[in-house]
Amino acid sequence: MSDANAIIRTENLHKRFGTNHVLRGIDLSFPEGTTTVILGGSGTGKSVLMKHLIGLLKPDQGRVLVDGENICDLDGTDLTRLRAKFGMVFQSAALFDSMNVLDNVAFPVREHRKDLSEPQIGDLVKEKLALFGLEGIEDKYPADLSGGMRKRVGLARAIIMDPKIVLYDEPTTGLDPITTDYVDESIIRAKEKLKVTSVVISHDIASAFKVADAVAFLFGGQVVAYGSPDEIRRSEHEAVRKFLGTWLRKN
């Protein structure tokens, strides 16, 4: 699970909240240009781990290396600089209801690329939306979109600044099977077209196995199984077998 050349690497990561020891020595590598899914049930530390990757939380012990830099040691402008390597797709898409699609997707560009004109920004937004089959919706508002379209707009916004890494927080939660498939295909397309490194937090087994190059299974704040989807299917760890349960018997 450790790769010195990985774009993100966690080393002996520990995090406590009071008496709750959430992360208990996480050692993980995220190879450049691949998709790693952090799979596990509720309360196993998946979201806490993701917050450490982007520097929203600092560990009690251990470190997180991003492109060789320890993000845990950074603050202020240095932390902002390193975070520019990331795009984030939130569970709810987190679009601004009062803004149309163009303004939602353009928001990071207008904040950080003062050198671009409005026509250039508009062209960039259309280019990113087209990657996910969202042509001609620039004037629509989030309320006009389906759940799957909102997720894809959120993905277009996440990659508008050409990040090296995209983090996905439960991207298929609450979606029907057809819409889930659209979102899964969008994650795969982002990796193939943009060569981004993707980290997906999920408890959706079918989605995880479809998009993942590697799966890390969290249980009790530790990585108890790591490998390809096929290797995770064959895992003999009791927690993994119990989690996969009915799904494994049907597939």
Q: What is the CATH number of the domain that holds 187?
A: 3.40.50.300
The pLDDT of residue 175: 79
Structural domain contains residue 28: yes
Contact (Cβ atoms closer than 8 angstroms) between residue 30 and residue 64: no
Say whether both 158 and 173 belong to one domain. Answer: no
Structural domain contains residue 187: yes
pLDDT tens-digit series, residues 144-203: 988 888 888 988 998 899 899 999 988 888 778 888 888 898 889 888 888 999 999 988
Range of the structural domain that residue 132 is part of? 98-162
Region 19-40 average pLDDT: 94
- Share of residues in the chain with pLDDT > 70 (%): 96
Say whether both 203 and 139 belong to one domain. Answer: no
Measured between alpha carbons, how far is 25 from 125 in angstroms, rounded to an integer? 41
Of 162, 191, 207, the one marking the end of a domain is 162
Assign 216 a pLDDT band (cuts: 50, 70, 90): very high
- At 135, list the tokens: 């042509």
Mean pLDDT of all residues belonging to the chain: 89
Say whether both 115 and 34 belong to one domain. Answer: no
Q: Which of 126, 64, 55, 125 is nearest to 84 (CA)?
A: 55
Say whether both 124 and 71 belong to one domain. Answer: no
- Number of structural domains (the chain) is 2
pLDDT tens-digit series, residues 81-139: 999 899 888 776 678 899 999 999 999 898 888 888 999 999 999 999 998 888 999 99
Longest distance between any two alpha carbons in the chain, whole Å: 56
Say whether both 58 and 108 belong to one domain. Answer: no
The pLDDT of residue 14: 97
Say whether both 189 and 120 belong to one domain. Answer: no
The pLDDT of residue 115: 85
Say whether both 178 and 75 belong to one domain. Answer: yes
Long-range residue pairs from 70-74, CB within 8 A, at least 24 positions apart, any chain: none
Of 122, 145, 162, the one marking the end of a domain is 162
Contact (Cβ atoms closer than 8 angstroms) between residue 234 and residue 242: no
Say whether both 182 and 76 belong to one domain. Answer: yes
Say whether both 3 and 79 belong to one domain. Answer: yes
Residue appearing with tokens 């993100």: 8
